[in-house]
Amino acid sequence: MDITSHNLLMNNADAVAALQLTISGVTRAQIDVNSDILSRFSMKMADVDGGVKIVIYSPEGRVIAPGTHELLFGLPASAIITDARLSDSNARHLNVNYEGVVTSIDELSISESEFNDAKIYDLSGRRVGKWHSLPAGIYVVNVNGKQFKVRK
């Protein structure tokens, strides 16, 4: 999950049945939810210290299909995701990476042999095979204690 140009994007590899977000630096009045999400899902908001907690779910068992989805629009520049939790239709926790305001971009600068030996995960947090054997896509690569999102 990333806040990009004041919109909250979710790029999910698995179907998401429910999500809970805590966003600091916003008020309820500043949150504009995607109308498609509102038409298919229930939403609850609660004020928390310095921000808002949002829960989106479907009592009918609907899911957000894998893909990229704009969830929220027009967030203030001060908005930062401080917690994000996702679950599938069986109420199993899905791994999630979230970023608030991007303050710097780390450069991935390693040798090819180090890259092939790195731990590589899909966007759901499942460990996958060696880089050279993976299909095109976006992966999370752990190198020297840092995580990088890398497009193949």
Mean pLDDT of the chain: 79
Residue-range domain boundaries for the chain: 2-94, 112-151
pLDDT in tens, 55-78: 999 878 889 998 888 899 888 888
Higher local confidence (pLDDT), 1 or 142: 142
Q: How far is CA 27 from CA 1, 79, 125, in A?
A: 19, 10, 31
pLDDT in tens, 24-58: 889 999 889 999 999 999 999 999 988 999 999 98
State in Å, rounded, how far the first CA of the chain is from the last one: 19
Q: Please identify which residue in the block is written with the tokens 């710097």.
A: 104
Q: Whole-model pTM?
A: 0.61
**17-42 per-residue burial string, b: 16 or more CB within 10 A, e: under 16:** bbbebbbbbbeeebbebbeebeeebe
Class of domain 2-94 as given by CATH? mainly beta
Distance CA 56, CA 42 (A): 6
Q: How far is CA 12 from CA 70, 102, 130, 147, 152, in A?
A: 11, 20, 22, 18, 17
Q: How far is CA 72 from CA 10, 21, 34, 115, in A?
A: 10, 11, 6, 35
Q: What is the pLDDT of residue 40?
A: 92
**Most distant CA pair in the chain: distance in Å?**
51
Query: DSSP states of 52-73 as a string?
Result: EEEEEE-TT---B-SEEEEEEE
Q: What is the DSSP letter of 15?
A: -
